[in-house]
Every structure is written in C-alpha cells, then in structure tokens.
Amino acid sequence: MKQFSELGLAEPILRAVSGEGYTNPTPIQAEVIPALLGGQDLIGIAQTGTGKTAAYVLPLLNTILADKRRAAPKSCKALILVPTRELAKQVSDSIRTYGRNMRASLAVVVGGVKPSPQVRALAQGVDIVIATPGRLEDHLRNGAVKLDRTQIAVLDEADQMLDLGFIPAIRRILGAIPATRQTVLLSATMPKQIRALAKDFLNAPAEIAVTPASKPIELIDQSVRFVNAGAKRDMLVSVLSDASVERAIVFTRTKHGADKVCRHLEKAGLGSAALHGNKSQGQRERALKEFRNGKVKVLVATDIAARGIDIDGISHVVNFELPNVPESYVHRIGRTARAGASGVAIAFCDSSERKLLRDIERLTGQKLAVVGDEPAQLEGAEHDAGAQRAAQNRNRGRNGNRNNRNGKRGSGHGQQRSTQASDGAPRGPGGAKPKGRWKRNKRFNDRGRAAAAV
C-alpha cells in the first residue's frame, strides 16, 4: 500500500495530513494526487466518502505553495465549483485543515447570503475561490471577480450540478478561464452531458474511477419495508425509536413532505431538523449544526443533503419516499457507513413506488431484503381499504376517485402524490404548471429551476 510521503506532496501538506491521523492515501488519492501534481487534466469518477476532496485539494495546495506570487486583485489562482452551499462550506473547511501549515487565502462565494462581504474578499485577490455557479456568475457580471488569471478549475459533484441545471453556467464560466488551465472534473456518475462537458473543456484527461455509483457500499445493511403510504409516518417513529439508532437521515421527495415528517417526529418526541432548498442559509446551517453536534438525532431532508454532506456517525438512512432517479438512492444511503463504519439503510415502499424500487434494484444489481409484510399481504389490505372508502364515497353521493374505486392505484391513505414532474419542475397537486409566486421566487434562487424541487 502506498504512503502519503511517496506521492510527491510538500512537507507542510504531509504534516497536516498526518495531523488528521491519515496513515495511507485512499485508492482515489493514490492515483489522483500524482496525476494532478504532474499537471494533467483529470476525470475522477468517485462518490463522496472515497476521500475525493483531499485527492484534489492536496495537489491544489501544493501548486499554491510552490507559486510565491500574490493573487492579482479580483482574481483567483484556483476555482472550485460545487453544486451546493453546504458542499462549499465543507470543501473550504477541508482546505483550511489541509492548508493549516501554509498561507493560502480563500473566498467562499455562494448564494443565500449577502454578496458584499464576498465582493470585499475578492477585491484583493485570493488563492482559491470555492463557488456555486449562480452567485459566481453574478460577481463575474458585476466585475467583482475575473477569471483571466485562473490556473486551476475543479468541478466537484459534476452530475449533481447537471441535475440542478448548472451546465450552461459552467460552460460560460469555464469559457472565461484561460485554456492553459488545469481542469479537474469529479462526478459520481458519467451521464452523457458530463461526458460532453469533459470532451469540450478537458485536455487529454486521465480518467480514474473508484467504486461506481451503481455499487452501494458493502458495509450498508439494506432492506425494504412494504407499507401503505398513510402508515409510513408511524412506521418511521417506530424505526427511529429503536435504541440502535444513533443518528439518522430521513429522505423525502419534496420539501413540503420533509417539513410534514419533521413535525410528526417532533410531536412523537423525536428531536429532528429539516433541511431543504426552501430553508434560508441560516436555517440550513443551524439544522446541520444541531444534527452534527447531536442536539437533534434526526435530519429530515430532500436530495439536497444526499451528496457531499460528510457527517460521521450516521447509523441509519431511511428512504421515507423512494427517489425518482435510482442513482439518488445510492447517494442517499452513502450518507451512512462512512469511514469504514457500518450502517443501516431502510427503504419504505408503498404501492405507487414499486417501479421505483425495481429501478433501484436493477441499478444496484441487488434485491433488497424485505422486512415485515410482503407486498401481496399489504395489497389485500390496501384493496380492502380502497373498497371500503369507495363504498363510503358512494354512500355520501360523491364521485370517488376511479382508480381507488377499482382498487388499482393509490393507497387512499392520504398519500400525497409527488408534486414534482418528470422534467424536474414542481407542479401543483393537480399537476398544473407553477404560477406567479414560484416564478417570482425562482429569480432569487441561486440554483434556478430544478432547485425548487429539493
């Protein structure tokens, strides 16, 4: 096994790494660090949890250390683009940790907070800018920063940036950086749009892949519980009340759903916090802080928290609702079993989610172990309930839902169908296109259209 000292990193960086207690580089670090120190462009296919942040941050710091010149005003030597504010904060924390024995200046440029302190930080020039694309583009337009002297560009979690609709912005941003730059692209998966981005903006990149996203980490004990939609919340309380649950993330499909589940848990006496794209930056930071320091043991989140968030000691991940995109399942459950620990991932699956479950099992190549009732048993109960309700509706002289009446679809347990359409745009309960208010909010949303869904 390789040692950090063999990779060609400078002494102050090696000292910081050993101060963190790392003895050996992770597989991605062992391959990526020498390639980046050699000046190559690079595509890294890796999920969070593999040590990918240090894999690009350590060589980047090495370059900054070797370059004695000060950054020019309003410029940066290295730019790291990330999809979310949380990941920006996490990356900046890593840079501070690994760069603590050297002088590297950095600025975090994200939406949801006042731009003026960022403008001031950028004015004198910094070594490293960590940015979400929307806010960076604002600063570029206003002339608060320019990228004509940037030598290194990193795109972290590129596929999540694609999901959030950032690719056009990224293309514009990369287009503003001199072509002589070194470009690093990290992504958990390689959809064709990311391939195209790499082809257009990377120069003969080395390609390094570790643990593809379709293979959930083996240390995770995965299972599924078939449950009627209306019974999910009570089942959640019972799952989370188990003494083995130290710290849990519960994933919902919608922001509204996250708030509802959070309220239900609070009522049941389980301290929880909600994290999603409708929360202000302050609320999001508070929720993460309370979860990190153990003040609340449950975080209820949309997929915004499925990537990048590195919190140790998450013993359980509950998929309260299955994600529309099977890859998201892999990202979600990857929040547990980090740093070699084991973890438990429990999926709740109601009758409307069977196809989503099949998609997940196809992607991962694994059948989830069933805990509790088999779907057939439940089906009977659902149909009975559906028939009963239809009879009640008929008695009341109302027009019941046809699907419920013939017992084919819909649990009839107050289940909310997804308010997100397949194109990622939020829809009203009846599937109607969003009207004025959402459109207006969109303007203030750093992540644009798709962010409304998370």
**Closest residue to ligand AMP, based on beta-carbon distance:** 53
Nearer to ligand AMP, 52 or 232 (CB): 52
Residues contributing to the site for ligand AMP (CB under 6 A): 22, 25-26, 29, 48-54, 310, 339
- Tell me how far, at minimum, the Cβ of 33 lies from ligand AMP, in Å: 10
Nearer to ligand AMP, 23 or 422 (CB): 23
| Length in residues, the chain | 454
Nearer to ligand AMP, 49 or 59 (CB): 49
Nearer to ligand AMP, 22 or 438 (CB): 22
Candidates 261, 246, 252, 251; CA nearest to 314 is 246
Nearer to ligand AMP, 52 or 447 (CB): 52
- How far is the C-alpha of 140 from the C-alpha of 144, rounded, in Å? 6
- How far is the C-alpha of 32 from the C-alpha of 25, rounded, in Å? 10
Distances (CA, A) of 355 to 32, 95, 326: 38, 42, 10
**Which two structure tokens, joined as six digits, stand for 298?**
């449950």
- Tell me how far, at minimum, the Cβ of 2 lies from ligand AMP, in Å: 10
Transcribe 207-236 into DSSP letters: EEE-S-TTS--TTEEEEEEE--GGGHHHHH
Burial (CB count within 10 angstroms: exposed 0-12, middle 13-18, buried 19+), residue 324: middle
- Tell me how far, at minimum, the Cβ of 50 lies from ligand AMP, in Å: 5
**Which two structure tokens, joined as six digits, stand for 335?**
């929040």
Instruction: Please list, in sequence order, all residues whose beta carbon lies within 8 angstroms of the beta carbon of residue 328, skipping any fewer than 6 positions away.
Output: 303, 306
Nearer to ligand AMP, 253 or 335 (CB): 335
- Tell me how far, at minimum, the Cβ of 307 lies from ligand AMP, in Å: 10
- How far is the C-alpha of 242 from the C-alpha of 232, rounded, in Å? 16
DSSP state for residue 367 in the 8-state scheme: P
Q: Are strands 106-109 and 220-226 parallel, antiparallel or unpaired?
A: unpaired
- Tell me how far, at minimum, the Cβ of 221 lies from ligand AMP, in Å: 20
* 3-class secondary structure per residue, 389-444: HHHHHHHCCCCCCHHHHCCCCCCCCCCCCCCECCCCCECCCCCCCCCHHHHHHHHC
- Tell me how far, at minimum, the Cβ of 333 lies from ligand AMP, in Å: 15
Nearer to ligand AMP, 21 or 429 (CB): 21
Nearer to ligand AMP, 247 or 253 (CB): 247
- Tell me how far, at minimum, the Cβ of 154 lies from ligand AMP, in Å: 12
Handedness of CA 35, 39, 45, 51 (dihedral sign): positive
**Which two structure tokens, joined as six digits, stand for 67?**
């370059």
- Tell me how far, at minimum, the Cβ of 387 lies from ligand AMP, in Å: 50
Q: Are strands 76-81 and 152-155 parallel, antiparallel or unpaired?
A: parallel
- Tell me how far, at minimum, the Cβ of 46 lies from ligand AMP, in Å: 7
Nearer to ligand AMP, 310 or 379 (CB): 310
Burial 76-91 (b: 16+ CB within 10 A, else e): bbbbbbbbbbbbbbbb
Nearer to ligand AMP, 27 or 434 (CB): 27
- Tell me how far, at minimum, the Cβ of 311 lies from ligand AMP, in Å: 9
Distances (CA, A) of 156 to 88, 188, 403: 10, 9, 44
- Tell me how far, at minimum, the Cβ of 53 lies from ligand AMP, in Å: 3
Nearer to ligand AMP, 121 or 337 (CB): 337
Candidates 360, 316, 357, 320; CA nearest to 229 is 320
